[in-house]
Amino acid sequence: MNQQILIFCILLIVQTVNGNWTKWTSCSVTCGRGTRVRYLRLPTYTVKQTAGCTKIGCPVDGNWGPWSIFGPCSVTCGTGLYYRNRICNDPAPAHNGKPCDGEESSSEICNTKECAAFTATLPGGVHPYQNGAFIGYPIKLLNNSGYSNGIFTVLPGMGGVYLVSVTMMSGSVTGHTTLRKNGAIYVWLFTNKEYDMASQTINIQLAEGDRIWVQMTNQASSLFDVYNTFSAIRIV
């Protein structure tokens, strides 16, 4: 009896190894990991074999990660913007999944301190000045910080780069004026005939307490009318 069982088992093993298996079935999934099977039909029963199978990854739709904190205001004075960002990586889209819906950045308005700025002119008519005299520019068209009687003084917290402009129109005598910072000459303006015009616009780094003004230089002269202006605005 035991010998018969042994012979049967040997025959079964031989048939299992060398027998006619059916073709493998299709993978049980269309993406990711699944299984497939095949069969060996023997006279007394059927053998089933299972194996793993792998398809391409399943589609993964993207989802936004958390927002970053807002960065600094885009300007150092006046009205600007705060910006923040996020990344489509929680998870990132994969295998033809949908991208994240929405914007990757956002902004909000930020209001920092008011930018220091002024514009001043002379009144109408001819205005004589001695050599070395300050130009007063008494008519203030704009003055939100630091300008008085022809001198602009940088107030606390207002240091930075300033755009400074001077326009000059001489009267009946040719004129030389200079833009000065703390007494040092930065630029010259010169007219070589009566009622001639000159202008200069420059960027100047000014620190807290620095002063700028316009001064008659080299000789006495006269300036004519409202065409003479002095202005500055902090830009950085």
Note the pLDDT tens digit of each residue in 53-78.
988 888 999 999 999 999 999 887 78
158: left (phi over 0), alpha (psi -120 to 50) or beta: alpha
Picking from 68, 47, 77, the residue whose alpha carbon sits closest to that of residue 233 is 77
Give the tens place of pLDDT for each residue, 81-114: 999 999 999 999 998 899 999 999 999 998 777 7
Picking from 152, 149, 182, the residue whose alpha carbon sits closest to that of residue 165 is 152
Q: Which residue has the higher pLDDT, 205 or 10?
A: 205
pLDDT at res. 164: 97
CB of 102 closer than 8 Å to CB of 132: no
Task: Name the token pair of 226.
Answer: 């409202």
The pTM for the full model equals 0.60
Structural domains in the chain? 59-112 (2.20.100.10), 117-234 (2.60.120.40)
Q: How many CB atoms lie within 10 A of CB 25?
A: 14
DSSP label at 180? E
CB of 225 closer than 8 Å to CB of 167: no
CA distance 147 to 228: 16
Whether the pLDDT of residue 7 is over 70: the answer is: no
